[in-house]
């Protein structure tokens, strides 16, 4: 039988959920951040002192809370769930988000409200920001670090099949049977740096093309039904 994907990891905001709930542009305007990229990393690098950092982080948390009320499932979600259920336990699943645990709880409520199974049954491992790793005995680094991917693979009990690698984002993925789907360049960087395949999902949005994407994206998806199709077919060598 042809090899198939063994595991799939999803970003949450703008990937499993529809884009636009979190107003990143408004967060950046409020804290005075001129560029795209990781907001929390920018705050850590640019805050004048602890008070300034706390002030800026409070703005981020406030925008995140507003966004929870606007959270909607991404286009093609039903097709994705059908594909995950068709694969059953032969495909491991995870969510990896830089958002907080509250966002994962809001997503679970949204799923149940729409008649889906609980989030923890569909996505077996869930990692939010500052997740404590029992293995490392400290908080994981956030994406674009490869650490969250390593942690997820370990939690799948696939650490011996896909031992942790730290790769350059331009290296072809060593663990082709694991796919990480996200809507941001940091999702793709985290994937490739952990040696797994990266998939960029756009949900009809056309974000400013980041030059780093051209050599770090293995798949491009318009919506979650295209991810479902990819997960249902035999693995193609990339
Ligand atoms: Mg996202």
Tens digits of residue pLDDT in 117-134: 999 999 999 999 989 999
pLDDT tens for 88-127 read: 999 999 999 999 999 999 999 999 999 999 999 999 999 9
Residue 125 CA, ligand 1 centroid: distance in Å: 17
Instruction: Kindly report the pTM of this predicted structure.
Output: 0.90
Average pLDDT over residues 78-85: 98
For residue 237, name the pLDDT band (cuts at 50, 70, 90).
low
Spell out the domain ranges in the chain.
Answer: 7-19+72-232, 24-70
How far does residue 67's CA lie from ligand 1's centre (Å)? 13
Q: If we measure between CA atoms, which residue out of 193, 16, 219, 177 comes closest to residue 92?
A: 177
C-alpha of residue 152 to centroid of ligand 1, in Å: 17
Q: For residue 214, what pLDDT is reported? A: 85
- Calculate how far, in angstroms, residue 15's C-alpha sits from the geometric centre of ligand 1: 6
Distance 28 CA to ligand 1 centre (A): 15
Structure tokens, 164: 């942790």
Instruction: Please determine, for residue 82, whether its predicted confidence score (pLDDT) is greater than 90.
Output: yes
Check: CB of residue 179 under 8 Å from CB of residue 5: yes
pLDDT of residue 138: 96
Q: Give pLDDT, residue 9.
A: 98
For residue 54, the CA-to-ligand 1 centroid distance in Å is 23
pLDDT(238) > 60: no
Give CA torsion, residues 224, 169, 31, 140, to 10 deg: 90
pLDDT over 60 (residue 144)? yes
- Kindly provide the b/e burial profile for residues 96-124, where b requires at least 16 CB atoms within 10 angstroms of the residue's own CB: bbbbbeebbebbbebbeeeebeebeebbb
Query: Number of C-alpha atoms within 13 angstroms, CB side, residue 86?
Result: 14
pLDDT at 1 over 80: no
Distance of CA 223 to the CA centre of its chain: 14
Domain spanning 7-19+72-232: which superfamily?
HAD superfamily/HAD-like (3.40.50.1000)
pLDDT, tens digit (0-9, with 9 covering 90-100), for 177-209: 999 999 999 999 999 999 999 999 998 877 667
96 beta partners: 127
Q: How far is the CA of 2 from the centre of ligand 1 (A)?
A: 31
């Amino acid at each position: 039988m042809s090899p198939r994907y063994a595991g799939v990891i999803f970003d949450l905001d703008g990937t499993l959920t529809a884009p636009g709930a979190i107003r990143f542009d408004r967060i950046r305007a409020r804290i005075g951040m001129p560029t795209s990229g990781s907001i929390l990393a920018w705050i850590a690098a640019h805050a004048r002192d602890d008070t300034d950092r706390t002030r800026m982080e409070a703005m981020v948390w406030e925008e995140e809370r507003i966004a929870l009320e606007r959270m909607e499932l991404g286009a093609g979600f039903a097709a994705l769930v059908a594909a995950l259920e068709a694969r059953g336990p032969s495909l491991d699943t995870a969510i990896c988000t830089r958002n907080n645990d509250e966002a994962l709880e809001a997503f679970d409520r949204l799923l149940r409200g729409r008649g889906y199974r609980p989030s923890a049954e569909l996505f077996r491992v869930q990692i939010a920001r500052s997740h404590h790793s029992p293995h490392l005995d400290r908080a994981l680094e956030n994406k674009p670090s490869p650490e969250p991917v390593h942690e997820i693979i370990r939690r799948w009990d696939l650490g011996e099949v896909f031992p942790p690698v730290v790769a350059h984002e331009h290296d072809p993925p060593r663990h082709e049977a694991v796919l990480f789907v996200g809507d941001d360049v940091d999702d793709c960087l985290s994937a490739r740096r952990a040696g797994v395949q990266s998939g960029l999902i756009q949900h009809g949005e056309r974000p400013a093309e980041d030059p780093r994407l051209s050599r770090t994206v293995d798949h491009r998806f318009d919506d979650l039904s295209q991810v479902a199709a990819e997960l249902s077919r035999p693995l193609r060598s990339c």
